Structure 1
Amino acid sequence: MKRLINLKASRSAKIGLALLPFIALAIIYLAVASQKMAENPNERLFPTAAQMTHTFTRMATQADMRSGSIPLWSDTRASLERLGIGVGISALSALIFGLLSGGIPLFRAPFSPLITVISLIPPMAILPILFIAFGTGEMAKVALIVIGITPFLIRDLQGEALRLPDEQRIKAQTLGANSWQVLLRVLLPQLTPRLISTTRLALGSAWLFLIAAEAIAAQSGLGYRIFLVRRYLSMDIILPYVAWITLLAFVIDRALYVISTWFFPWYHVDEAASS
């Protein structure tokens, strides 16, 4: 008889097991919502599936009378633009600094301690400073994302560069490669898939900083909408918006994973072997 630690699920079984917790949570919520609604028809904290579907459809199809735009799509576009710009700047900065810091000791000596100290600063603590420095426009929101995740990305890429075998650098130099060729032809191809993987991990934090910035000072965005309606206890808007944010985060994560497997299949060999 096989031991439990050696049992592996088939592909279809994996899908079923993955969906099982979500189905269970949905059943529990719907049961609680039905009970609360039966006790109090004006219940607002536990909206039913029908209420949430109706409200979400209205947010996705009907234009706002004040702005003339459809709330769900205008909020989504605003949030994704801020997130994309912030994560893009962070990833590019991390790749440059991580590559130089991991490959050039003279660059690492002054900048590595600085990055370490910056990474220890709670990004939310400097949010008021960002609003003072950049105002309440888009710059402050993007800056919070950049400050929040860039040090983490840099430190991870630097560590990955330092973990690479020294023999690779030595062989490249033996073949006549100069410092920049070693960085671009030896380190860069190996750090790029690591950057994608680390960016996927940092997306959760990026969303957190985005929602926090939008909640404090914004006129559009998913976080803005959630905190706008919280005063009315509009859970029929808040819960679908939270689910929508989760879906967007999942799609972005999967997209990055697919891009990584397409362009760097060798990086995922171990993952395929263990699945």
Structure 2
Amino acid sequence: MRWVNVRPSRRNSVLLGALPLLLVVVAYLFASAARHAANPSDKILPTPAAMATAMHSLLVDADPLSGRLIFWADTLASLERLGLGLGICTLSALLVGMVLGILPAARASFGALVTTVAVIPPIALLPVLFIVFGLGEAAKVALIVIGVTPFMIRDLADHVAALPQEQLIKAQTLGASSWQLALRVALPQALPRLIAGLRLSLGPAWVYLISAEAIASDIGLGYRIFLVRRYLSMDIIIPYVAWISLLAILMDVALAQLSRRAFVWAHQTSR
């Protein structure tokens, strides 16, 4: 028996995936208990009880100044920015990526420009975005768009350009125009790749969002984390980081399920 041929069942895959997470939680609990045994006022590794106490007011008590439930208001603000940014990224990547992938002349003209923009560190452009768009929502969304869109465009364009030439030749033999080639041949095969690119972009998109919120915002998950760090409030920071991770995982799972249900043929070989 070779290990490369061992394929765990769905149930065993879930158990194997949960095991490392469980070990991390157990290790944290032991480390937290040890630190509090030596120093009951330790703030670096708060106990679960301390985190529950700190988060209670943010979850269920309205802020006296704004009247909002802070945790849920932060979550909603961040998800709105992320959703708008990724929506623009996806639409832009689909339109531009299809054009660059289908039309060699367009790829020769604008491929270098997309590559140049893609290698610019988006965080370095954050001051420029704040100067151009101000400190409002536009700059935060623009950072996500600038950071994610070029990668998605390049990935989709390369995928479309690599489609088998036999398909394009056969379609043209049957009388298909360039427009029909794009819609009937390339687009159906590009959509699963677009969703895959969006899944890979979730991590960087969250990084850009948290960075923008940390620098210039008055609400949001990133804003709250960087606000309480000055007080060493790890009992708030850790739950917020865990919540962001959970949201990212749920988004990834939702996109994966969408792709599998909408494009069954694209996942047959991966089963």
What is the rounded CA distance, in whole Å, between the counterparts of 1:268 and 1:55 in structure 2? 44
Residue of structure 2 equivalent to 1:81: 80
One-letter amino acid of the structure 2 residue matched with residue 36 of structure 1: R
Cross-structure match for 1:139: 138
Indicate the SS of the match to 1:109: helix
Q: Which residue of 1 aligns with 2:217?
A: 218
**CA positional deviation for 1:25:** 0.8
Q: How does 1:36-75 map to 2 (within 5 A)?
A: 36-75=35-74
- Matched with 1:116 is 115
In the TM superposition, 1:74-223 aligns within 5 A as 74-223=73-222
Asked if 1:259 is matched to 2:255, the reply is no
- Partner amino acid, structure 1, of 2:202: L
CA distance in 2, matches of 1:259, 1:10: 22
Q: Distance in 2 between matches of 1:103 and 1:74?
A: 43
User: Identity, % of aligned pairs?
Assistant: 54
Cα separation, 1, equivalents of 2:4 and 2:106: 46
- Aligned pairs, how many? 271
Amino acid at match of 1:186: V
Per-residue deviation, 1:50: 1.0
| Aligned-partner SS, 1:218 | coil
1: CA distance, partners of 2:96 / 2:2: 47
1:7: which partner in 2?
6
What letter matches 1:215 in structure 2? A
Q: CA deviation at 1:22?
A: 0.8
Per-residue CA deviation, residues 193-229 of structure 1 (Å, 9 max, x unaligned), is 1000011001100000000000000011000000000
Q: Give the equivalent residue in structure 2 for 1:21.
A: 20
Mean Cα deviation higher: 188-197 or 169-178: 169-178
TM-score normalised according to structure 1 size? 0.97
Q: Distance in 2 between matches of 1:206 and 1:178?
A: 37
Show CA shifts across 1:61-118 (max 9, x none).
1111111100111000000000000000001000000000000112111111100000
Measure the CA separation in 2 of the matches of 1:20 and 1:57: 29
> Matched residues in 2 for 1:10 and 1:167: separation?
37
Residue 148 of structure 2 aligns to a residue whose secondary structure is helix
Task: Report deviation, 1:53.
Answer: 1.9
Which of structure 1's runs of 4+ aligned residues deviate more than 6 A?
Answer: none
Output the aligned Cα RMSD: 0.9
Give the Cα separation in 1 of the matches to 2:177 and 2:11.
51
